[in-house]
Amino acid sequence: MTSTQHDRPDRNLALELARVTEAAALAAARLVGRGDKEAADQAAVDAMRFVLDSVPMNGTVVIGEGEKDEAPMLYNGETIGDGSPPEVDIAVDPLEGTRLCALGMPSAIAVIALAERGTMFDPGPIVYMEKMAGAEEIADLLDLDRPIGETLKLIADRKGMGVGDVTVVMLDRERHQGMIGEVRDAGGRIKLITDGDVSAALLAVSDRSPVDLLWGIGGTPEGVISAAALKCMGGELLGRLWPRDETERQAALDGGYDLTRVLTANDLCWGDDVFFSATGVTDGDVLQGVRYRGRGATTESLVMRSRSGTVRRVHARHDRTKLRDITGERYG
């Protein structure tokens, strides 16, 4: 085996990552509806970190819970895995939708993505980016500069339906009021969500979804994770960095970032061998949440690999008593 072959992420890492997101989801699910989003997030982080230590890889967190001083675990720059090859970049969101989990609302998920070392975009000081995402069928129609009404008409024509049947998923934010008006003025439909950038991107490309397009301004780190998912699942994501104020704009320019550039999924995650896993915490349009059956629990995960184009939907049953024997109280 050559050195290059040895350093390449191994095929079985995909299912290893499923164990990671299952652990995070099971831990966070014990706090669904309890009103404490910080505790739910910490539970997910602790469980994810516990399982990651056993994964055969030398990973560096490039998209994590924040800087080291702000995040006790899974911080940007942290080394995770058992230290063996391959060397990889890791992007995590142990609990996307902390508020959703705390309030018992739909679409909270646990997420992780992995790619070869040095192949994930560093968001730097820019917290938000303008995004547009859609399935492979309409990938060539996406354009951040074209009026949205024209894009909706192109999508409708491509799919053989009227503009009034095209649905755009957007975060329900004040900054989107003008964009919401543009979609409605063009005759399109909108699905507003309270949280969940990655979940929304999955929704826009899933063949089980009524959503046709993701559009709006959301988190840049979540854009990188979404790009990793789309590299595996198909479709396209376009993004353009969106500074919140002049200070952030200047910091980005000083760091060498081009604020006019439209980034593709390949620009955000350019690895050839990308892995992605997401497990539902609460029921949503993309994934079923954790459900309890006596002393057991069930989970549903999406597990993907770009190199093979394999997308698995994994339904798992867990014995919580046995898990507690192995892990302590992390799984409730």
pLDDT in tens, 97-121: 999 999 999 999 999 999 999 999 9
Residue type, 269: C
**Annotated binding-site ranges for Mn(2+):** 41, 65, 93, 96, 222
Task: Please tell me the predicted confidence (pLDDT) of residue 1.
Answer: 35
**Annotated binding-site ranges:** 41, 65, 93, 96-98, 128, 173-175, 195-197, 219, 222
* 177-188 residue pLDDT tens: 999 999 999 999
Task: Please tell me the predicted confidence (pLDDT) of residue 313.
Answer: 95
* 277-309 residue pLDDT tens: 999 999 999 999 999 988 899 999 999 999 999
| CA atoms of 88 and 13, how far apart (whole Å) | 11
Query: Are residues 79 and 58 in contact, defined by beta-carbon separation less than 8 angstroms?
Result: yes
**Annotated binding-site ranges for substrate:** 96-98, 128, 173-175, 195-197, 219
Q: What is the mean pLDDT of residues 60-73?
A: 78
- Residue 70 confidence (pLDDT) above 80: no
Task: Please tell me the predicted confidence (pLDDT) of residue 295.
Answer: 84
CA atoms within 13 A on the CB side of 276: 32
Residue 11 DSSP code: T
The full set of domains in the chain, from first to last, is 13-118+273-327 (3.30.540.10), 128-268 (3.40.190.90)
Task: Please tell me the predicted confidence (pLDDT) of residue 189.
Answer: 98
- Full-model pTM: 0.92
Query: Are residues 109 and 283 in contact, defined by beta-carbon separation less than 8 angstroms?
Result: no
305: enclosing H helix or E strand: strand 296-305
- Count Cβ atoms below 10 Å from residue 113 Cβ, excluding itself: 31
